[in-house]
Amino acid sequence: MTTTSDRSNVDDDRETLSLLTFFLAGDRYCVRLASVDSVVGVESPDSLEAAADPWNAGTVSIDGTSVRVVDLPRVVASPSASVERPAEAALLVLDDAIGETARFGWLVDDIGDTETVRPDEVESTLPSAQIVRGRLDLESGPALLLDEQAIHA
């Protein structure tokens, strides 16, 4: 099932930042809602999970468009950790296209809520956290804001 995000709630004037929260191994993360094109349920992610490279875990076709999958639970886990998978995962299909025919998708454990914050509420993180834009204390709890551009670089 595909659900397209509601972009009418996104304020581009930078007075507020709309976010979509999601979970990886029980930890809360978020991404700018404006970057998310859709959320797709994944019933059997076995082939994606078995890929040697979590940054390029495979490609799926959604509505005739190729989506290159990043296996985020494996990207954020320590190299020695085993990744526990839920029965059904989700794929966040991002709005940023690769050329004109492919997009990126992030395999995640579960989808949370949308929340709106002010940009000044994002706390800086260490420069070594290259894929993290910052840390937030949301209504639903603490979360790390991921940098979709850094993940796709």
Query: What's the confidence (pLDDT) of residue 11?
Result: 42
CA-to-CA distance for 24 and 111, rounded, in angstroms?
A: 9
- Across the beta sheet with 65-71, the strand order is 2-4, 36-42, 89-98, 102-108, 65-71, 59-62
The DSSP letter of residue 78 is -
Query: What's the confidence (pLDDT) of residue 75?
Result: 83
Task: Judge contact between 136 and 121, C-beta under 8 A.
Answer: yes
pLDDT in tens, the chain (153 residues): 333 333 333 344 458 999 999 998 888 999 999 889 999 887 766 666 677 888 888 888 888 888 888 888 888 876 666 677 666 788 989 886 665 556 889 999 899 999 999 988 998 877 666 888 889 999 888 999 998 888 877
Query: What's the confidence (pLDDT) of residue 19?
Result: 94
Torsion, Cα 135 74 149 110, to 10 degrees, reads -70
Query: What's the confidence (pLDDT) of residue 1?
Result: 33
122: alpha, beta or left? (left if phi > 0; alpha if psi -120 to 50): beta
CA-to-CA distance for 136 and 123, rounded, in angstroms?
A: 6
